[in-house]
Structure 1
Amino acid sequence: MSEIIPARPIPLPWVSNVVEDRFGLSVVLRVGNAQQRFRWIAPGHFLMGAPADEAERGCSELPHEVTLSSGYWLADTACTQAFWLAVWPVNPSHFQDHPQNPAENVSWHDAQGFIAELNRRFPGLYARLPSEAEWEYACRAATTTPFSFGNQITVEQVNFHGNYPYIGGDKGLYRQRTVTVASLPANPWGLYEMHGNVWEWCADWYGEYPEEPQIDPRGPIIGKMRVLRGGTWSDPARYARSANRSRIEPAYRPLSSGFRIALGQIRDPVGMRKRIR
């Protein structure tokens, strides 16, 4: 039996529920009447980027080996407007007809301000944006295909511009807006809408990938633009690929930009579960 590495547990007073299901271990964080579920993403190794023969790949998607040496907790959905308003008083979103719509029209700085306030309220929570590598690792969920659903997607799986399907796919519904979070199928690790719906900010400055293997990459030290991932409701399907990269200046607020929260570097969900029990 392998040795259990000591963990930094999530502060237990703020965990309202701990669940194990077919996707693995998750915890729920409540803020007022709103809540967010976080899934444990175990450490691992994957090929980041897109192979040369992947259809509609971008020129910045050089495949390279990445090892994530520590696990982390990742929100199973993009931050909702309900969760945003439980922390921050003003809703910046355009589509405000349902509290479970993702918060959008959010800059990178807005997301960081929200996370800073969340951490101020709960010292030791260590909420943050995921790194670009953490984001793609979780999106792929151990798959190597263009999408975590396989080589093709439909509008029943992903909210994208249905008039522009992935190469070889059929046209479908163009919703012209976001959908409520967790309303489309989850990926194999229980994460919803990693493909499509809203672009999701990552912590990293945008930069070219290195050719050599990387351990826990965090992107360039400085830069002009921050990374966004996942594609959006208004984009063709190719932008929803697991490897697709986008970037804009961190002060810019696209109508389609949101974010997903990560928590700390917690190495031992098994040990945490034993302590909770």
Structure 2
Amino acid sequence: MSEIIPPRPIPPPWVSNVVEDRFGLSVILRVGNAQQLFRWIRPGHFLMGTQADESERGSAELQHEVTLSNGYWLADTACTQAFWLAVWPVNPSHFQDHPQNPVENVSWHDAQGFIAELNRRFPGLYARLPSEAEWEYACRATTTTPFSFGNQVTVEQVNFHGHYPCIGGDKGIYRQRTVPVASLPANPWGLYEMHGNVWEWCADWYGEYPAAPQFDPSGPIIGKMRVLRGGTWSDPARYARSANRSRIEPAYRPRSSGFRVALGQIRSPVGIHNRIC
């Protein structure tokens, strides 16, 4: 497949700072005393899901081609408790000892309420949850291995239940809690803790993957459960794989569920819109 060469993105008007480093272009959004860095994720193609011979793959990970025709900004970390409290008045998290811990124990609806308030405060922000395809594309960051770090991960790279590594991996510590965001190594695109720490809500309803190539997929039109990605601090390493999928009802607050904000309008068959619900 030919590579999509996008134009250089124009920083949005709401940014407080523009940064360019070895990972590429990023912008910073400040809310009160809190801030969130967003990295530019350029358009591209990738193989979503897993091959049949990938170790510990799930049954709903049918590999298929995906094209994302539009770039988007993606938070380099899960939403922190500091950023959450700058927008929303109540902290639902269990681990509240550090403001840079990810906010957790939030439902899909809770995340949407937070995002709606962000959009109210910053017209033209187009904050939203990433689609499941956008999430996996960013998590993989051009890699094709089970993790963006390779075929195995250690507890020095990912916050998972260290007593349960992937097959052939070494056991490590079990922290029994979240860690502050950006305290573990970033993936090749400068995104932190895409593997482990907290589950991250995606915009999509959960559904089986199609076998045919997909163009800007956004999941089923209707459903009963929303997608969660990334695994968590209390899960075995296999749940932190780039392609691993979980799902739960959008009103439910599972243990250590968090989210990562995306910015930018998305394309649909009827035009450009901001899907926030």
Same fold by TM-score greater than 0.5: yes
Q: Could you tell me how far apart the structure 2 residues matched to 1:215 and 1:92 are?
A: 36
SS in 1 for 2:239: helix
With the length of structure 1 as denominator, give the TM-score of the two structures: 0.93
Q: Percent identity?
A: 88
Aligned to 2:135: 135
Secondary structure of 1:39's counterpart equals strand
Distance 2:88 2:20 in 1: 30
Question: Does structure 1 retain, via aligned residues, the 8 Å contact 2:108–2:250?
Answer: yes
Preserved CA contact (<8 Å) 1:128 1:262: yes
Cα deviation for residue 16 of structure 1 reads 1.1
How many residues of Structure 1 are paired with residues of Structure 2 in the alignment?
264
- TM-score, normalised to structure 2, is 0.93
Tell me, in whole angstroms, the C-alpha distance in 2 between the residues paired with 1:159 and 1:3: 34
AA aligned to 1:192 is Y
Supply the distance in 1 between the matched residues of 2:196 and 2:164 (Cα, whole angstroms). Answer: 13
Which residue does 1:273 correspond to in 2? none
SS in 2 for 1:36: strand
* Residue 262 of structure 2 is aligned to residue 262 of structure 1: yes
Residue 254 of structure 1: how far off its partner (Å): 1.1
Secondary structure at the aligned position of 1:134 is classed as: helix
Which amino acid letter does the alignment assign opposite residue 232 of structure 1? T
Cα gap change, 1:45 to 1:218, in 2 (>3 Å) = same
Structure 2 counterpart of 1:169, which letter?
G
One-letter code aligned to 2:221: I
- Greater RCO (Cα-Cα under 8 Å, separation 6 or more): 1
Query: 2:275 corresponds to which residue?
Result: none
User: Which residue type is aligned with residue 186 of structure 1?
Assistant: A
CA distance in structure 2 between the partners assigned to 1:81 and 1:6 by the alignment: 32
Q: After TM superposition, what 4+ stretches of structure 1 lie above 3 angstroms from structure 2?
A: 2-7
Q: CA deviation at 1:265?
A: 3.8
SS at match of 2:105: coil
Whether contact under 8 Å (2:11, 2:18) holds in the other structure is: no
CA contact (8 A) 1:73 1:266 kept: no
| Gap runs ≥5 in structure 2 | 268-277
Partner of residue 197, structure 2? 197
Q: 2-side partners of 1:116 and 1:84: how far apart?
A: 12
In structure 2, the residue matched to 1:19 is: 19
What is the match of residue 54 of structure 1?
54
